[in-house]
Chains A and B, each alone.
Chain A
């Protein structure tokens, strides 16, 4: 096999845009027809909206198809057949995989998949891993305890599909994982940005191992959090490990829809042969098409069949671009990847605020550790922001210069003022997955 081919699927990844749109329309019509014919939920939804599948003739007709939200799935799953409800499109005997969402935003949603769907999941991941340079000679270490959540399962199977040697680093603790990486001379790994930084920290502090010089990891694929496309976080990870760090984006109900390629354009490619993405204005719901504008991502998995994902309101915020990538893929780009969550973007003192902007500032400042905590609350009627940061080991104990730099950069980047607390290194919480560093105490249950 020719390992120098840059594309997993040289045909689809270089299709001219016009043909790609035709392929998406063909597939969209097919998945809507499938859902209408096989799921009581979808038939009811479409009938209530006054649309039948044969009325979808152009991509403009896509917007006539009702959107689905996670909250709807929770209601559906109270119905038969247990435990998935009537969005299920196959007999229960055909379901071979159970996963569930993390429950970060409420009651978890169950995700059934057939083996066919699982082939599709691993194909999504094989596309992205190949684009990031994974090849059969790689030995990939996955430092994650696989469980009922979908995280890294499909990555594992995709590594096998590519032909990589795949090492499950499940129940080992962080130190044991680092030593196993060293022992096996693993060349690549997958983890959340938080854990990538946490592992590097543990390696240095507890094992006197410098990952950049003492380990052989040369590419890292991140998932679960947006940090791999936040420039300061990416820089810290790449320097700590001496590796190229890549982002990818996906969700349990959707699939792995976006990926950064080896050219690292500071953007995610959308896997457009497998997903149809629409971007809509957060207030009006109208399509956003102008480059540089941001909106909410509505997404369709074009080939997933047990529990179809059709016009799913992902709540992810993305930015439109008309740029093309030097890698040669015709797939569209979202600069900065997922730049926020519709349920995280909030107004503070009347200013639209994305918590990820604070991460970029904190991690761009030398003398601060990777950890921070941001709390918004009310003082009287006024919003109040408290930023807790840690000094890095060896930084001055009275970090006046760091504090001044932090205040100035935060004001420039976010137009807001903060109370800042400095804490000793190691005193703020550490996370392995889905870090919760932003707490909005103005909302009920914001903690």
Chain B
């Protein structure tokens, strides 16, 4: 599959991951082991988003 096609195909799924991870993160204030690991997961997801970012919105 051409890279640009692949990028368009998986970007919505990355957005879903972001929503799920954000929601879990926001609910985890009283549970450091969940909260701090989700913080790292969110950084990885942000890096995924940057890697898949297209030139135009």
Contacts and interface: CB of A to CB of B under 8 A. Distances in A.
Interface in B20-57: 39-40, 42-44, 46-47, 50-57
Given A19-B55, A123-B51, A11 B6 contact: yes
A26 B55 contact: yes
SS class, residues of chain A in contact with chain B:
helix
A303 interface: yes
B50 A11 contact: no
Q: Which of B39, B44, B50 has the most CB of A within 10 A?
A: B50
A22 B55 contact: yes
Interface residues of B, number: 19
A12 B53 CA distance: 9
A119 B55 contact: no
Contacts, number: 41
Contact of A14 (B3, B39, B57): B3
A11 B52 CA distance: 8
Contacts of B43: 114-116, 118-119
Interface string A100-125: 00000000000000111011100100
A119 B7 contact: no
Nearest to A5: B3
Size category of the binding interface on chain A? 20 to 34
B53 A23 contact: yes
Contact of A119 (B47, B52, B54): B47
A322 interface: no
Given A10-B3, A11-B3, A116-B46, A26 B51 contact: no
A92 interface: no
A365 interface: no
Interface string A26-41: 1100000000000000
A15 B55 contact: yes
A392 interface: no
Given A23-B54, A119-B46, 19 more contacts: A10-B3, A11-B4, A11-B6, A11-B7, A11-B51, A14-B3, A22-B56, A23-B53, A23-B55, A26-B55, A26-B57, A27-B53, A116-B43, A119-B44, A120-B50, A123-B47, A123-B50, A123-B51, A303-B50
19 contacts: A10-B3, A11-B3, A11-B7, A11-B52, A12-B51, A20-B55, A22-B56, A23-B53, A23-B54, A26-B56, A26-B57, A115-B40, A115-B43, A116-B46, A116-B47, A118-B43, A119-B44, A119-B46, A123-B50
